[in-house]
Amino acid sequence: MTSPHTETAAVVAEPAAAPDTRDGAPVDAFRARLRAFLSAEHPGRSPKGDRGARTRWQQDWAATLFDHGFAGPSWPREYGGCDLGLDEQIVYYQELARARVPGHPGNGPSIAGPTILTFGTPAQRERFLQPMLRADEVWAQGFSEPEAGSDLPALRTTARLDGDAYVVNGQKVWSSNADVADWLFALVRTGTQQSRSAGITYLLIDLTTSGITVRPIRDLSGGSHFCEIFFDDVRVPVDNRIGEQDGGWGVARASLGHERATRALSQAALFRRAWDELVTLLQDRGALADETARDRVAAFEIRVRIMQLTAQRTIDQIRRTGEPGAASSTSRLYQSLLEQGLYELAMELLGPDAVLLDADSGAVQGGRWVRNYLRSRAATIGTGTAEIQRNTIAERVLGLPQIFTPTR
Nearest distance from C-beta of residue 146 to ligand FAD, angstroms: 7
* Angle, CA of 127, 129 and 131, to the nearest 5°: 80
CB of 25 to ligand FAD, least distance (A): 36
- Cβ proximity of 172 and 229 under 8 Å: yes
Output the residue with the shortest Cβ distance to ligand FAD: 149
Pairing of strands 165-176, 212-217: unpaired
Torsion sign (Cα): 188, 191, 196, 201: negative
- For residue 355, the minimal CB distance to ligand FAD (Å) is 21
* Cα 187–chain centre separation: 17
Nearer of residues 302 and 398 to ligand FAD, judged by Cβ: 398
State the minimum distance, in angstroms, from the CB of residue 132 to ligand FAD: 15
- Neighbouring C-beta atoms of residue 361, cutoff 10 Å: 6
Angle of helix 328-350 versus helix 248-284 axis, rounded to 10: 30
Residue 142 or 325: which CB sits closer to ligand FAD? Answer: 142
Residue 247 CA to residue 118 CA, distance in Å, equals 14
Residues tagged active-site: 259
For ligand FAD, give the closer residue by CB, 175 or 331. Answer: 175
Distance of CA 282 to the CA centre of its chain: 29
Please give the residue ranges that form the binding site for ligand FAD (CB under 6 A). 141-144, 149-150, 174-176, 226, 378, 381-382, 384-385, 387-388, 391, 404, 406
Instruction: Report, in Å, the least distance between residue 385 CB and ligand FAD.
Output: 3
**CA separation for the pair 250, 243 (Å, rounded):** 9
Distance CA 249, CA 7 (A): 33
Element (H, E) at 215: strand 212-217
Q: How many residues does the chain have?
A: 408
Instruction: Name the region of 322 (left: φ>0; alpha: ψ -120 to 50; beta: rest).
Output: left
225 vs 315 by CB, closer to ligand FAD:
225
Taking the C-alpha atoms of residue 297 and residue 360, their distance in angstroms, rounded to an integer, is 28
Minimum CB separation of residue 382 from ligand FAD in Å reads 3
Beta bridge partners of 172: 229
Side chain identity, residue 41: E
